[in-house]
Amino acid sequence: MAAFRFSRTSLDVAALRTELADPTCGGYTSFEGLVRNHNEGLSVRHLEYEAFEPLAVKEGERIVAEAIERFGIERAACVHRIGDLAIGEMAVWVGASARHRDEAFRACRYIIDEVKHRVPIWKKEHYENGDSGWVNCERCAAPPSTPATDASAASAHQHGHGHDHAHRHQHEHSATTGASSTPAPDYSRQIALKEVGARGQSKLRASRVLIVGCGGLGVPVISYLAGAGIGRLGLVDSDRLEASNLHRQTMYALADVGQRKVELAAARVRALNPDVDVRVHGIRLDATNAAEIVGQYDLVIDCSDNFSTKFLLNDVCVQKRLPVIFSSVYQYEGQIQVVRADRDGPCLRCIWPEATRDGIVGNCAEAGVLGPVPGTFGSLQAFEALKLLLDLPGQLGQELLMLDLLTLSIARVRTKRAATCPDHAQLAQAQTRAPGDVAVEVDFPSLDDALAAGFEVVDIREPQELVEVPTPTAKARHIPMTALLHGKPAFTPPAAGKSLLICASGRRSLAAAEELRSRGLNNVYSLRGGIARLIRTVSA
Ligand SMILES: [Zn+2]
């Protein structure tokens, strides 16, 4: 059966199940989303679904293929109704057949969630009182008598049927107009550039870019890259919008305050360009999740406001040999640097061997900033990203560009690979290991952060050292290095967790972690810089 299709007639679940049946599978799960009879306090009589079919089918097929690949299941399919639907009718069906039930559940869940977020389908509700409205998101779904900006009323409401949040934000604020067709994205103004052309446009279409941070730097990056037609945009942010953000984060509205930025930004991208496959990562990047997320992209743009994220991205991108575009702003000035880890170029640690820690240089909250400063640097990042993806001349290579917007002075500082760079040394080591291995050294601002991230902390220093400098957490195991490597019974990390080895400087713990990894214990890590660095961070 087709992986994804639309149906203008009622769905026959028994027939769909038969179509999907696979004699090798012991598990079958389905999700059935039904039309319910109310929304926003209004009684709904019936509703209509409309889709931009060619694009929707393509995206739907992609989602089902992703689920099959990701969960290793045998078969899956999704059928979505379009046209007029009565109360109680089935709007969407998802089925998954797998050898085991867990994969079947997870694949089914993945498909419905992704379809909700990514497939361009719109829903029009017809109410008992004779009104009707296109329903996209909670706010847009407010009935015509309620001001569209009444976020509090909207956010309090809960949808009851399985399919409701499905198509939010596809048509922003069109609740009363009932607009039913969206013009197609038009890239003619950039294709007209001879350096871009149709070939360049297809390069952009095939690109996958991760944007870390949806704030002052991220907003222009997101807007320009969505407009340019980048194939996949990943957005990372764990913060909610605050009113004090708005002077520099121009994509958001006052009525959005309190909502998750990453969702707001994703909604903007969908409204701006339905061609873009936008992926939401509503988390804070840390050593446990960064490699997995970054691995889904070809280029990373760092729009974060803290050094631990920047160095984490640096380390992961050097490991994975991915280019990353960094920028930082401070009051009236900023800097931008492109780390071509894919071409063995200098990285952040080559330039800042004693990594600057958070809290030493002020961020926007403490130091203050004028809105156009991050706007300028985010625009420069977007431009460097397009230069890189389109292979245009004049790319910022082995240099750091600094710009002071008060004096309009520009400085370009040449950067070079440092022989002592720990990341590059580690990369050289990693190249001798099997592919698929993950970084041994990880960074944490404190041991509590490591514990929170699911690590057990193992202090491998000698007893005398513990007397002089106690472990900076009460929740640590103490196993001196010799016992760790040669003790009986042999050391084993917790079955479901990871062990973080720590020592005074990070050297012994790295050696011990490498040794344990070589014995096949892959969930052993070493704290970079050891306890000395934790103490420096605290006292700074
Ligand atoms: Zn380096």
Residue type, 78: C
34 CA to centre of ligand 1 in angstroms: 54
Which pLDDT tens digit goes with each residue over 157-175? Answer: 333 333 333 333 333 333 3
CA dihedral 250, 253, 258, 260 (to 10 degrees): -60
CA–centroid distance, 512 to ligand 1, in Å, is 23
Nearest to 265 by CA among 232, 236, 243: 236
Q: Distance between CA atoms of 536 and 103, rounded to whole angstroms? A: 46
What CA–CA distance (Å, rounded) separates 169 from 57?
19
CA of 418 to the centre of ligand 1 (A): 6
Give the model confidence (pLDDT) of 195-214 as tens digits.
898 889 999 999 999 999 99
Phi, psi of 532, deg, nearest 5: -55, -40
CA of residue 169 to ligand 1 center, whole Å = 42
Tens digits of residue pLDDT in 496-537: 788 999 998 888 898 888 888 877 788 899 998 899 888 776
**How many angstroms is it from 318 CA to the middle of ligand 1?**
8
| Residues in the 5 Å CB sphere of ion ligand 1 | 347, 349-350, 421, 423-424
Predicted local confidence at residue 477, as pLDDT: 92
The alpha carbon of 233 and the centre of ligand 1 are apart by a number of angstroms equal to 26
| DSSP H/E element including 423 | helix 422-430
Ligand 1 centroid to residue 343 C-alpha, Å: 12
pLDDT digits (tens, 9 = 90+) for 98-148: 998 888 999 999 999 888 877 878 788 888 877 776 664 333 333 333 333
Ligand 1 centre from 145 Cα, in Å?
59
CA–centroid distance, 339 to ligand 1, in Å, is 9
d(Cα 79, Cα 32) in Å, to the nearest integer? 10
Å from CA of 511 to ligand 1 middle: 20
CA 202 – ligand 1 centroid, Å: 32
Query: Considering the entire predicted model, what is its pTM?
Result: 0.51
**Residue-level pLDDT at 181:** 67
Ligand 1 centroid vs 320 CA: distance in angstroms? 13
